[in-house]
């Protein structure tokens, strides 16, 4: 265990640590109904997740008739956030094997970080509701560092490394946002095939792809 190659492992949240589409999807559809747009399917909302709530809603409007005037968009965005906060953990659960993998990494002396484009207050509220907050030394949301510093910029990864006291870092995620952020920060990255992949997992350009959390520790040991 002393020879584990990483001191810090960072995780995306939605589609990586947790399966949250059954709560995010209804929030998107609620926002769409406030401006008379058609609903979109759960499979479709799954493909919108990854860039944060604002980008998710922008993409939903692109699918259902195009952009809205800014004032209408902001109103719908506010409705999305209100609905989501009220139902943030109704159906969201950690992926199978996730908690055991986090425990295994902690037993190997790893510090763990959440690096998500989700707004920080909602990230913390969700992790609190699932009893997961105390597993992480650092929780960074897409708004934590200010405009232009969320993934795919390297800033969140660089900040997590500093906040954890430095050391070798690996990223775990499910989207191009995660892989590009890791590449921009010059750290290795593992992609999950079962997340909310905006590309096929094999095409994301990660250093490795896993199909289940039970394989994560072994894959990290080989990077």
Which band of pLDDT confidence, cut at 50, 70 and 90, is reported for residue 122?
very high
Average pLDDT over every residue of 194-210: 94
Average pLDDT over every residue of 12-16: 97
pLDDT tens by residue, 127-181 = 999 999 999 999 999 999 999 999 999 999 999 999 999 999 999 999 999 999 9
Average pLDDT over every residue of 102-128: 98
In this prediction, residue 61 carries a pLDDT of 97
Closest CA to 190 of 159, 165, 221, 166: 221
CA 30 vs CA 16, 68, 138, 154, 181: distances in Å: 24, 16, 32, 33, 31
In this prediction, residue 186 carries a pLDDT of 99
In this prediction, residue 215 carries a pLDDT of 99
Q: Which residues contact 209 (CB under 8 A, 6 or more apart)?
A: 190, 191, 192, 193, 201, 202
Residue 1 predicted with pLDDT over 60: no
Average pLDDT over every residue of 31-46: 95
Residue 107 predicted with pLDDT over 60: yes
Backbone angles phi, psi at 215, to 5 degrees: -95, -5
Alpha helices in 4-152 (DSSP H): 21-34, 42-46, 53-63, 70-86, 98-107, 120-129
Distance CA 31, CA 29 (A): 5
Peptide bond into 152 cis (omega under 30): yes
Residue positions annotated with a catalytic role: 12
In this prediction, residue 47 carries a pLDDT of 87
In this prediction, residue 197 carries a pLDDT of 86
In this prediction, residue 113 carries a pLDDT of 99
Helix (H) or strand (E) holding 158: helix 155-163
Q: Please name each of the domains of the chain with its CATH number.
A: 8-19+92-222 (3.40.50.1000), 21-86 (1.10.150.240)
What does the buried/exposed string (b/e) look like for 26-59 if buried means 16 or more CB atoms within 10 Å of the residue's CB?
A: bbbbbbbeebebebbeeebbbbbbbbbbbbbbbb
The DSSP bridge partners found for residue 114 are 11, 139
Average pLDDT over every residue of 192-219: 96
CA 1 vs CA 8, 31, 197: distances in Å: 14, 48, 31
pLDDT tens by residue, 67-96 = 999 999 999 999 999 999 999 999 999 999
Average pLDDT over every residue of 99-115: 98
- The answer to whether residues 67 and 18 touch, using CB atoms and an 8 Å cutoff, is no
- Mean pLDDT, the chain, integer: 96
- The answer to whether residues 43 and 22 touch, using CB atoms and an 8 Å cutoff, is no
- The answer to whether residues 6 and 165 touch, using CB atoms and an 8 Å cutoff, is no
Query: What is the value of pTM for the model shown?
Result: 0.94
By mean pLDDT, which of 6-15, 117-126, 194-203, 209-218 is the weakest? 194-203
Distance CA 33, CA 114 (A): 32
Helix (H) or strand (E) holding 177: helix 176-185
Residue 2 predicted with pLDDT over 80: no
103's tokens: 């425990």
């Amino acid at each position: 265990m002393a020879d584990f190659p990483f001191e810090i492992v960072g995780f995306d949240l939605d589609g990586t640590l947790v399966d949250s589409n059954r709560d995010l999807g209804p929030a998107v559809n609620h926002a769409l109904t406030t401006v008379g747009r058609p609903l979109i399917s759960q499979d479709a909302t799954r493909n919108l997740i990854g860039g944060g709530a604002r980008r998710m809603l922008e993409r939903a409007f692109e699918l259902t008739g195009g952009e809205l005037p800014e004032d209408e968009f902001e109103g719908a965005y506010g409705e999305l956030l209100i609905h989501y906060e009220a139902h943030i953990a109704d159906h969201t659960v950690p992926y199978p094997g996730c908690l055991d993998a986090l425990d295994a990494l902690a037993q190997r002396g790893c510090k763990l970080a959440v690096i998500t484009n989700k707004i920080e207050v909602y990230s913390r509220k969700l992790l609190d509701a699932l009893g997961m907050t105390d597993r992480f030394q650092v929780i960074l949301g897409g708004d934590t560092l200010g405009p232009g510093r969320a993934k795919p910029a390297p800033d969140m990864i660089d900040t997590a490394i500093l906040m954890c006291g430095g050391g070798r870092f690996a990223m775990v995620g499910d989207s191009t946002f995660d892989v590009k952020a890791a590449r921009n920060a010059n750290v290795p990255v593992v992609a999950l095939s079962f997340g909310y992949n905006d590309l096929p997992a094999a095409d994301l350009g990660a250093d490795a792809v896993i199909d289940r959390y039970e394989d994560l520790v072994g894959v990290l040991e080989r990077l």
